Structure 1
């Protein structure tokens, strides 16, 4: 019986870490139970408490497996159902990817236990929040980056969202982990320490509520009537050779139904043909009709550079003025094949249509749309907050186009909408988002959805979009504030630990 009890006590912290990672997924869309993300951090703090360094790594890794395993397992859909990959291989590669992404959390757990040599409050309040966010930030750019499921997104509908225009999503992650550490202390610490933890929690969350009332940007010019179009073209037929005419007819009809709008936005690669192939029969007549009706149309379409023989995933605006933006941050293995020399024959496993795009060379993500300038992002680009903010302060509103049909009826489209909401809130701009199969939406400058089209439905949504001017503090400073704060917290934790160890040696 004692042996069985010992085994249970040794495996329980790992199970708590794994369950905490899975529980965190419920904080993200479409569940949006933001308090559960804080509770999950409490569980992770408990599993790491007094753990040996090696156990700290494995428990952090298990947390990452729970988070990524339940949160992004939808990756296998694009590999298997649309990438023509055998199911066993798609599932295996997805599991390998999840295990690799979990390493960031494992390293954070190991370092917390490696560096913790101070009073019990240093790890949950300094080391752990700082290291969690630093590794989250590292995951967002290393090896082209995978900034999905950043903890701060769970707080888009909570009080902490008030801090987003100041410190962005990484800052919200920092405050969420710190809140979890304080809540853990509130449960575990005695006396005055418990009171201090409760005061800290109240101050952080009350500050967020107060900041939600602050307007960081101001209206600029008259309101625009905007429409987003969603033709709901199945991914399985989108690139079929005979599908082009049917798809074009669908978008033309939706456009005609919305020509009373000032702005009409089509999704990413709405038309499966290159721009030069459809310019004369479709684009030019549509632009003329838009000019007559006083409308501006922004559409996603592949663009071929006939001289260089390169093609781009692009956004084109037509109407009173023509402009173009080519996607700069491409999706690895979806739009280009990284590490071709290393992967060799494995590259042939990825049979994804249009998977050899070239990156655009625009210095900033700006598009002229009639008399206005829009900050634009194509699909995955809006997951990189610093890149979206490069359009500030010139951008009067934001546009995101996407094709989340790659991930079917999964969590991915809802998580992606949540990311777009955070970009609107961070920059104090309305955001117009058109997708192929959903979720298309119009979002206000506070990150609230004001109009939407249900997933897997054909139709359009309309709402007023107010051009804005000015810049939020986050638009100006970017990620320097939260990442710098995280570094300071880690250094302070290390310093306090050294002082404590030196004092203990002298006392002994």
Structure 2
């Protein structure tokens, strides 16, 4: 008999789950946009979450700890994982608060960590619930873990105005789970990834010799193949024609403007403001594309602050011919309030089309209750916007329905879905206008691009993006980036885009009517079943 390997010392074994959770959280952040390439890595997202799952199901070293102590341990592991993941995902908030907002470096770093710690509490609660409700059956444990993870993601995405940046599903825009986007959206992808992670964490070498394991893998592959076939059929032109769907008009030419106005000068009257007004004014006069898009607050002044005739000349230029313009500009006044808006100019469009941003950024665009003291410590221009409505109409132009969204509004797919309630008026092209200059040359740019790509997958509509510093890009209805302008350069991205119409995706259909309620109910239903099973044991 071969000698048995000596067991690791107890302190090492007690520490191992915490090391797994901490390392897993950091790797989860990296999976969303790998440093250097900025590419999402779907396999790393599952593998890193599997490290947490393994830590949760591993038996504790100490014996007789009891259910309550075990739940606290599970909560701590989930919280540690989430803190590493979230702080590693949106660390660039430090740049906006310190570099551009003027907040002292220690306070800016503390604010990022505090936000990660607060949001991490959702995942701590999820892991505690998993520990209390699991029964030991591997299939049920995978389903239960996926359900509690889904509920934590939904809570982060909706409570306290919601901040779902870095949700695990965004790592899968190029992976096999992307086929789920059209049916269950990014949160449904995250559910499937969590189930896969727990399954991977519980996998044993001896499982490869069991026919049931192979049967499960075969069933998963068949289900994936059916979903992929369904998506391809919905996207293929011959299938669309047979279903009576047609493209929205002829392809049109597009010019996306990227001003690359330095963020620390953007609102300065002696530097950034004249630079923006001059460069954008010149490009808008010279553009020959059928549709021109200038990014969020491309015009960094309220209309009443502009030189008389500046905005009127732009309007005259684009209402006199066949071209159209979507222009990012704040509207209103300091006395009556102002909005972060898009103006649309096109022939026959009088008065100009207007879209007002609905989902405002806390601290940057509105001040949460009891936090004015915090925002007063920073220098943020135009920091208290009024809010627009959900489901605002699109700009109808030459057979297209152009649906703007501003900055991180494309993070909230359930709100964009409100525009798809009626297929006859559903958008044919989604248009994102952003200024990510607040976050420097960081992974925020690549992370935001993946967010837009996921929206294109969910709604099967092209998404075009005009930004101040990047990523200015064109994404087709399959979620592929077809054109992209180099970041942090001043230039114009020219492309051709084909709008899409016809039947909306299943996700667009149910999210337009019920928001994320079906996912909430599904996750809670699994928890209720797990509780009943637990009582039965």
TM-score (norm 2): 0.87
SS at match of 2:249: coil
Is residue 215 from structure 1 mapped to residue 234 from structure 2 by the alignment?
Answer: yes
Shift in Å at residue 61 of structure 1? Answer: 0.8
Match of 1:333 in 2: 363
Residues 126, 490 of structure 1: 8 Å contact kept = no
Q: How many residues align?
A: 493
Aligned to 1:31: 39
Give the superposition deviation at 1:426.
0.8
Judging changes above 3 Å, is the alpha-carbon distance between structure 1 residues 344 and 25 closer, same or farther for their aligned structure 2 residues? closer
Distance change (3 Å), C-alpha of 1:440 and 1:281: same
Deviation of residue 429 (structure 1)? 1.0
Aligned to 1:458: 490
CA distance in 1 between partners of 2:24 and 2:254 (Å): 41
Indicate whether 1:493 and 2:510 are aligned.
Answer: no
Partner residue, 2:278: 249
Cα drift, residue 369 of structure 1: 4.7
The reply to whether residue 357 of structure 1 matches residue 394 of structure 2 is no
RMSD, aligned CA: 2.1
State the alpha-carbon separation in 2 of the partners of residues 297 and 84 from structure 1.
Answer: 35
SS in 2 for 1:401: strand
1:187 aligns with 2:204: yes
Q: Which residue of 2 aligns with 1:397?
A: 429
Q: 5+ unaligned residues in a row in structure 1: which ranges? A: 502-508
Go from structure 1 to structure 2 and tell me whether the alpha carbon gap of 1:365 and 1:442 turns closer, same or farther (over 3 Å shift).
farther
Choose 363-372 or 19-28, whichever is displaced more: 363-372
Summarize the Cα distance change of 1:279–1:344 in structure 2 as closer, same or farther, 3 Å threshold.
closer
How far did 1:195 drift? Answer: 3.0
Q: Deviations over 1:219-269 (max 9, x none)?
A: 12221211211010010100101232221111123334432x111100000
Alignment check: 8 A CA contact 2:285 2:317 kept: no
Look up the match of 1:176: 193
Q: Distance in 2 between matches of 1:110 and 1:293?
A: 62
In the alignment, what sits opposite 2:92?
Answer: 74
User: Alpha-carbon deviation of 1:204?
Assistant: 4.8
Residue 121 of structure 2: aligned partner = 103
1:280 Cα deviation after fit: 4.4
* Offset at residue 82 of structure 1 (A): 0.9
Supply the distance in 2 between the matched residues of 1:230 and 1:144 (Cα, whole angstroms). 29
Q: Is the partner of 1:236 in helix, strand or coil?
A: coil
Bigger mean CA deviation after superposition, 324-333 or 458-467: 458-467
Q: TM-score, normalised by structure 1?
A: 0.92
Measured after TM superposition, the shift of residue 279 of structure 1 is 7.8
CA distance in 1, matches of 2:326, 2:138: 55
| Alignment match, 1:85 | 103
**Contact conserved, 1:298 with 1:369, CA < 8 A, in 2?**
no
User: Are the structure 2 counterparts of residues 69 and 35 from structure 1 closer, same or farther at C-alpha, using a change threshold of 3 Å?
Assistant: same
CA shift for structure 1 position 205 = 4.0
* Other-structure match for 1:477: 510
Deviations 1:363-410 (A, max 9, x none): 423332534322221112111111111111322211111100011111
Deviation at 1:273, TM superposition (A): 0.9
Task: Choose from 442, 456, 469 the match for 1:410.
Answer: 442
Query: Which range moves more in the overlay, 317-326 or 347-356?
Result: 347-356
Q: Please give the per-residue CA displacement for 1:79-115, whole angstroms capped at 9, x wherever unaligned.
A: 0011110111111111111111211111111110011
Which deviations, in whole Å up to 9, do the C-alpha atoms of 1:469-498 show, x marking residues without a partner?
Answer: 231111110134444332333333333333
The whole-number CA distance in structure 2 between the counterparts of 1:286 and 1:344 is 37
